Amino acid sequence: MAMISYSTIVVALLASFMICSVSANFQRDVEITWGDGRGQITNNGDLLTLSLDKASGSGFQSKNEYLFGKIDMQIKLVAGNSAGTVTAYYLKSPGSTWDEIDFEFLGNLSGDPYTLHTNVFTQGKGDREQQFKLWFDPTSDFHTYSILWNPQRIIFSPMRMYSSLWNAEEWATRGGLVKTDWSKAPFTASYRGFNEEACVVINGQSSCPNVSGQGSTGSWLSQELDSTGQEQMRWVQNNYMIYNYCTDAKRFPQGLPRECLAA
């Protein structure tokens, strides 16, 4: 494992409608891990839903473990008054010194935008939060969210894909000022179009024997943000970023993290 810079990970904030069919099957590719029946796979494995009520939320994880890869998921978030709810979509390695790449969608009152909270952990240490107000309605239809990580500038332990829907009314919406309205429960998030282009780890061995190479393993293995992607990311940061750990000097009185100084 290695220390990382947030900017070296291609975390794609894609808001595109999926127009092509996909071959993913939730019955084959994931397992519902908690929720006592609140997570459901339907439509012959094409659709997965997670629900949250006052008793519990729910969650699932990928059956595969990945060393590097590009993971796509189409998600339709909780509609209406979703204050206090968190829909998490992330990759995480096991253990007390874990690696993790986070998307956390923080619900809000009807008509107010969701907040996207992102973070990166390495060796169990995070403190790399950024937050954005979404510039589109993530509840009106499915949108594709992609996480891409490769060996060009960063090394991770093998990770699984996870997602969950849970209650965090003590902090999620306006720092906990707005609580969950349980009269609106159950809250439901829907998933489809799970796609993995990845180095799958089986019995400790990666399916990509030469991760430094290109070719048949896919362009994602050496992909970086091109000039167009960098321009789009700057547009998002300039117009919709509401928190950036690299500008929070009060949080780091001993000095900003080194990746912020190098950015």
Q: Catalytic residues, which ones? A: 100, 104
- How many Å apart are CA 173 and CA 106, to the nearest integer? 7
- How many Å apart are CA 19 and CA 248, to the nearest integer? 40
Phi, psi of 92 (to 5 degrees): -150, 140
Residues 81, 112: contact at Cβ < 8 Å?
no
Q: Are strands 205-206 and 58-62 parallel, antiparallel or unpaired?
A: unpaired
Q: Which distant-in-sequence residues (6+ apart) come within 8 Å of 71 by Cβ?
A: 91, 146, 147, 148, 161, 194, 195, 196, 198
